[in-house]
Amino acid sequence: MKTRRFCPHCGRPLLKSHNDKHYNKYSFQCYGCEEDFFKFEVLRKKDMEDIIQLRLGTINRECREDSHLYSVYKPYPQRN
């Protein structure tokens, strides 16, 4: 489900949150960072220049740390 909202930490696309156990219901979830965000915290499609820079930084950091590379274009991890 496209939300056209992006993570302010890694630049990955976000999914709508289905977590109702929090008092403050978050609107979006990032599966790459495993964090929840309110509507005012996320980046929008109009911020695409910033999003691209975040994505490049995320890819570089994950390569340096030898961690599993998740897609920065899909809101979920790639399955092997």
Q: Is 35 part of a structural domain of the chain?
A: yes
Q: How many domains does the chain have?
A: 1
The percentage of residues in the chain with a pLDDT greater than 90, rounded to a whole number, is 24
| Domain residue limits at 41 | 5-64
Q: Is 22 part of a structural domain of the chain?
A: yes
Q: Is 47 part of a structural domain of the chain?
A: yes
Q: Is 77 part of a structural domain of the chain?
A: no
Which whole-number Å values give the CA distances from 20 to 17, 27, 38, in the listed order? 8, 10, 13
Q: Is 71 part of a structural domain of the chain?
A: no
Phi, psi angles (nearest 5°) of residue 56: -60, -40
What's the whole-model pTM score?
0.76
Round to whole Å and give the CA distance between 32 and 59: 12
Q: Is 80 part of a structural domain of the chain?
A: no
**CA-based end-to-end distance of the chain:** 22
Tens digit of pLDDT for each residue in 55-64?
899 888 888 8
Q: Would you state the pLDDT for residue 80?
A: 58
pLDDT at 28 over 70: yes
pLDDT at 3 over 80: no
